[in-house]
């Protein structure tokens, strides 16, 4: 059983190599993953992210429900279109998923969650919604295209109506707006400027083709992974999962502790973890010599062992980088060791962010 | 499908072997193998002068996706390695059967070549994967 997005035929037309991604047949690359990566850092690239799950949460309790459901506080959202990144925890403070919430009004929100966690996310939300007056509606009738890179916005602008251009002109990061057929958001997963566009399925292939025609390069999941890792963005299932606290996944900034009486799910356990100060933490690792850091390699430090959660070769920096979970007492600037192919190799500890807007940031 | 030159010999572990005469062979990885691995970022080659046995892991091809051992398809002495790959590992992707070659072996026993697969046999082994 393999799902196909509405853009499947377009990928094959562009010579994509397709792979199974959690039950979806998705492009891993269209020839060279590294060239696609550079296209996003230097010009404009696009990704089919139609496999991601769009969920609309509406009703008179929508705000109260979301304030209970997730760690970040949707009460902070007061301007229509503003978005919020957050974790959704279980009672043990393990991360069920990470997601983006767009605010339209207090009765009207849009969530975008991971496709790999779709079923458990929906089941969890529906279960938690029992005592709230809300409707939870999946919106599978849309495609979603992320256009990213320093030239992304100007390329997209060429395809927009005058009304749409006016609506997105000067839109700050992490906003979304519905204009005409398109929902256009200044979000992404690459560390570059750009848009994520939600488009009705019937128009998706045509929109994709027009983007190709103005010179936006199609990019696969391979480049998406190296780009997000350079940007220090977590990937659910690798960098965190239900056994991991947000405190151990560089997600402390997504927890809103005030007001103290907001009882979001997982708060109690999370508060205990925070008070104990014993959660490990997610750091960056840099290897400047030959070799590539990979997921699950052991990290050896004087403070105790850790583990690489995501590792790759960074095409921008031309050496390997990784995210790793290590004891909290390990410091940025420390030299630690990674067990790679039976050898111990020295690596530098950095903040978990390597590249932003095309530039090295550590 | 993948290009599999008929004049070469193959190992099921995706190395190709070209008989250069005088008991010398050139070894690389097949187009199919580089396609599976994706963009190459480092290639770690054996030392010249090293003696290897068929089946030894002697090199590592590291791509964005994974690190993969390269095995000696035959026994003998490493007499040359492709130093171009140090700065241009992508040659393995762009020209796997040509400029992307990895090392040359001086055979101990020329008859070992007979135990390798021909193009047809290799193609059949890929189809089984």
pLDDT > 70 fraction of chain A, expressed in percent and rounded: 100
Q: Which residues of B touch A292 (CB under 8 A)?
A: 41-42, 62, 64, 67
B15 in a structural domain: no
Q: Is there a contact between B62 and A292 if contact means CB atoms under 8 Å apart?
A: yes
Residue of B31, B63, B64 to mutate for A, most A C-beta atoms under 10 A: B64
pLDDT of residue A156: 98
pLDDT of residue B43: 96
DSSP A132-175: S--EEEE-TTEEEEEEESTTHHHHHHTTS-HHHHHHHTTPPSSB
B4 in a structural domain: no
B66 in a structural domain: yes
pLDDT tens digits, A340-352: 988 999 999 999 9
Does the pLDDT of residue B1 top 60, yes or no?
A: no
Of A17, A28, A341, the CB nearest to B67: A341
Q: Is B88 on the interface with A (CB under 8 A)?
A: no
Of A17, A34, A291, the CB nearest to B64: A34
* Residues within 8 A of B (CB atoms), A 320-359 only: 341
pLDDT tens digits, B70-126: 999 999 999 999 999 999 999 999 999 999 999 999 999 999 999 999 999 999 999
Per the document, the length of chain A is 362
B9 in a structural domain: no
Q: How many other C-beta atoms lie within 10 A of the C-beta of residue A31?
A: 15
B1 in a structural domain: no
B98 in a structural domain: yes
CA-nearest residue of chain A to B40? A34
Collect all residues with Cβ–Cβ distance below 8 Å to B16 and sequence separation of at least 6.
B5, B8, B9, B10, B27, B28, B29, B30, B96, B97
The number of domains in chain B is: 1
Mean pLDDT by 10 residues, chain A (362 residues): 93 97 96 97 98 98 98 97 98 98 98 97 98 97 98 97 96 96 97 98 98 98 98 98 98 97 98 97 96 97 98 97 98 97 94 96 92
Q: Which structural domain range is residue B27 located in?
A: 23-112
Q: How far is CA A200 from CA A24, A43, A182, in A?
A: 19, 26, 8
CA A321, CA A283: separation in Å to the nearest integer? 11
CA A71, CA A251: separation in Å to the nearest integer? 10
Q: Is B66 on the interface with A (CB under 8 A)?
A: yes
Q: Is B54 on the interface with A (CB under 8 A)?
A: no
B100 in a structural domain: yes
Q: What confidence tier does B2 reach under pLDDT thresholds 50, 70, 90? A: confident
B11 in a structural domain: no
∠ CA A333-A334-A337, nearest 5°, is: 135
**In Å, how far is B12's CA from the nearest CA of chain A?**
23
Collect all residues with Cβ–Cβ distance below 8 Å to A276 and sequence separation of at least 6.
none
Of B39, B42, B66, the CB nearest to A32: B39
Cis omega (within 30 of 0) for bond into A297: no
Confirm if A52 and A7 have CB atoms less than 8 A apart: no
Burial tier of A342 (Cβ tally within 10 Å: 0-12, 13-18, 19+): exposed
Collect all residues with Cβ–Cβ distance below 8 Å to B6 and sequence separation of at least 6.
B118, B119
Q: Is B57 on the interface with A (CB under 8 A)?
A: no
Q: Is there a contact between A294 and B67 if contact means CB atoms under 8 Å apart?
A: yes
The answer to whether ipTM exceeds 0.95 is no
pLDDT of residue A334: 97
Q: Is there a contact between B42 and A341 if contact means CB atoms under 8 Å apart?
A: no
Q: Which residues of B touch A294 (CB under 8 A)?
A: 66-67
Collect all residues with Cβ–Cβ distance below 8 Å to A167 and sequence separation of at least 6.
A177, A179, A184
The enclosing domain of B71 has a CATH number of 2.40.50.100
Q: Dihedral of CA B42/B43/B49/B52: which sign?
A: positive
Collect all residues with Cβ–Cβ distance below 8 Å to B95 and sequence separation of at least 6.
none
Q: Which residues of A touch B60 (CB under 8 A)?
A: 341
């Amino acid at each position: 059983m393999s799902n196909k997005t509405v853009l499947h035929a377009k990928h094959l037309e562009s010579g994509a190599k397709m792979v199974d991604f959690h039950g979806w047949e998705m492009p891993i690359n269209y020839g060279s993953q590294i060239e696609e990566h550079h296209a996003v850092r230097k010009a404009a690239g696009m990704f089919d992210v139609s496999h991601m799950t769009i969920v609309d949460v509406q009703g008179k309790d929508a705000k109260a429900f979301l304030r209970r459901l997730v760690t970040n506080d949707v009460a902070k959202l007061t301007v229509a279109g503003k978005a919020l990144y957050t974790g959704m925890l279980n009672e043990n403070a393990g991360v069920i998923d990470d997601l983006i919430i767009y605010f339209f009004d207090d009765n009207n929100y849009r969530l975008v969650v991971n496709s790999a966690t779709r079923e458990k996310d929906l089941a969890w939300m529906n279960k938690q919604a029992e005592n709230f007056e809300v409707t939870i509606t999946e919106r599978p009738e849309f495609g979603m295209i992320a256009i990213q890179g320093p030239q992304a916005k100007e390329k997209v602008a060429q395809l927009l109506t005058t009304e749409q251009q006016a609506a997105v002109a000067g839109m700050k990061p992490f906003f979304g707006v519905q204009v005409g057929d398109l929902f256009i958001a200044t979000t992404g997963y690459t560390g570059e400027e750009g848009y994520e566009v939600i488009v009705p399925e019937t128009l998706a292939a045509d929109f994709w083709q027009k983007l190709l025609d103005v010179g936006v390069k199609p990019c696969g999941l391979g480049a998406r992974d190296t780009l997000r890792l350079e940007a220090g963005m977590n990937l659910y299932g690798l960098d965190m999962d239900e056994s991991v606290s947000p405190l151990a996944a560089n997600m402390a900034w997504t927890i809103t502790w005030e007001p103290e009486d907001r009882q979001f799910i997982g708060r109690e356990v999370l508060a205990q973890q925070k008070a104990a100060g014993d959660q490990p933490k997610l750091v960056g690792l840099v290897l400047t010599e030959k070799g590539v850091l990979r997921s699950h390699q052991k990290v050896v430090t004087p403070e105790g062992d850790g583990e690489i959660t995501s590792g790759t070769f960074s095409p921008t920096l031309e050496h390997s980088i990784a995210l790793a979970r290590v004891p909290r007492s390990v410091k940025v600037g420390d030299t630690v060791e990674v067990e790679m192919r039976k050898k111990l190799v020295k690596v530098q500890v950095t903040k978990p962010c390597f590249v932003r807007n095309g530039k090295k940031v550590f | 499908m993948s290009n599999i030159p008929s004049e070469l010999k193959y190992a099921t572990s995706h190395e190709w072997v070209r008989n250069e005469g005088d008991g010398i062979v050139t070894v690389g990885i097949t187009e199919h193998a580089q396609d599976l691995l994706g963009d190459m970022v480092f290639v770690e080659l054996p030392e010249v002068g090293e003696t290897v046995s068929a089946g030894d892991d002697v090199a590592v091809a590291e791509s964005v996706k994974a690190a993969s051992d390269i095995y000696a398809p035959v026994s003998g002495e490493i007499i040359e390695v492709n130093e171009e790959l140090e700065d241009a590992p992508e040659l393995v992707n762009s020209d796997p059967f040509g400029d992307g070659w990895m090392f040359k072996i001086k055979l101990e026993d020329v008859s070992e070549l007979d135990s390798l697969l021909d193009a047809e046999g290799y193609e059949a082994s890929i189809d089984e994967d």
